[in-house]
Amino acid sequence: MKRWHIKQIIGVLLSLLVFAVYYSPMVQDIVKFPSELEMSEGQYQVIPFRLPMEVKIQADDKNVLKINGQSLEEAIIEQKVDSPLIIQPQQQGSAALQFRLFGIIPIKDMSVRVVSPVKVLPGGQAIGVTLYTEGALVVGVSEFRGEDGLMHHPANDSGLMPGDIIEKANNTIIKDADHLAEIVNSINGSPVKLDILRNDKHISLSIKPVKDMEEHKYKLGIWVRDSTAGVGTMTFYEPNNRIYGALGHPITDMDTGTLLSIKNGEIVHSEVIAVKEGKKGKPGELQGVFLNDEERIGNIEANTEYGIFGHIYADSIVTNRLYKEPIPVALQSEIKEGPASILATVDDQGVKAYDVRIVSVNRQSRPNGKSLVVEITDPTLLKLTGGIVQGMSGSPIIQNGKLVGAVTHVFINDPKRGYGVFAKWMLEEIGIETDDEAVSPYKEAVGM
């Protein structure tokens, strides 16, 4: 019995030891390392060790990687204490790495994928954005006095809500807000069937128009909008496919926060005429004017969580005197905390580079708009704008000669800082792998 107790105590002690070692900072540094590592040729990754580790490697092609300067002829590498593991990509392909503490305890599985770097021309140009939505967006509901002298609220009675996109009325596709008003007034007060899009779901409802006492028109008790416009910044131009990306965040309706479903739109050259300096609690703003139709740059084909995208009309339209040739898009593993720069247009002198610091990098396995935190450090830019201001959304972030991402949002209480999104996520939105507010409306909501 005594011997059994001794074995039990030894077993508990060993379990506690393993538990303590596994959750030690030395092991957790490896556990927290990304499970998927994307690298390009010419890059390398150093993984430090402070405990004995065995690394088992599986690869279809032994020439994909070198580990510590050696090819993958050996399936298992014994890693010594205080000796880093150096991973060097050699050619496109993939490999799987399995880390075992003392060669026994599984610590982490990691896949390494070697890819060819994607190259793009960085932007920084101020652009004017004009966008027309599919259907009519409900931005508000209201009540009004009908010809019977009573107050009516048809929208509330039918269940119509702000944020709803009216796509059809009586099975007719809605072209714009004026078209919806025409249909409502053509049926002389009869109920109208509306097909709407609400939170990505299609639903139908019936609403009975009421004639307004003052305007003598049939109304639904809603305010709608079908277009928006504003100033932003181009992030990149991919010359092989003539595709651009801009803003880094979606265009949403300023009243409802709804991501606008686009029918069509264009980007044009914009001239910055003034800057409203950003201060704590009060975001600043670039004030710009759109140039004439001859200055059209391209169309808008997609409005997504990670920016707007479309095709450029001609290569000659997009110029950047700072970068004559495309530069590589940085992989997550290449992005480091520290000095970087952004390209932006904040006056009439065109695109300029300004110093920033990448404060933190959020390693992400799936797209998310809060990939980076950046801080403006350039004294010239701070003097001009106070930090990040509305209109700078999309400003490309460059580090070590590679496009890292785009500035997307400003911190309201610290305008020197803001979020950025990885360029990788923007490119994947267009099928290429590798608080700044929404633009303000130029067309007022229409009541009906």
Catalytic positions are 249, 378, 393
Q: Identify each DSSP E strand in 332-444 by its residue range.
A: 338-344, 352-361, 372-376, 396-399, 402-411, 414-422
Contact 262, 132 (CB under 8 A): yes
How far is it, in rounded angstroms, from Cα 142 to Cα 73?
73
Task: Note the residue count of the chain.
Answer: 448
Contact 244, 141 (CB under 8 A): no
User: Which neighbouring-strand residues pair with 282?
Assistant: 279
Contact 398, 438 (CB under 8 A): no
Residues near 143 by Cβ (< 8 Å), separated by ≥ 6? 151, 152, 153, 156, 221
How many Cβ atoms are within 10 Å of 445's Cβ, its own excluded?
19
How far is it, in rounded angstroms, from Cα 343 to Cα 322?
9
User: Which neighbouring-strand residues pair with 133?
Assistant: 262
Tokens standing for 308? 């707007």
Strand-strand pairing, 36-40 and 105-115: parallel
User: Which neighbouring-strand residues pair with 47?
Assistant: 85
**Rounded to a whole number, what is the distance in angstroms from the first to the last CA of the chain?**
88
Contact 418, 233 (CB under 8 A): no
Tokens standing for 94? 């993939």
Tokens 């399995």 -> residue: 98
Residue of 263, 304, 301, 265 lying closest to 179 (CA atoms):
263
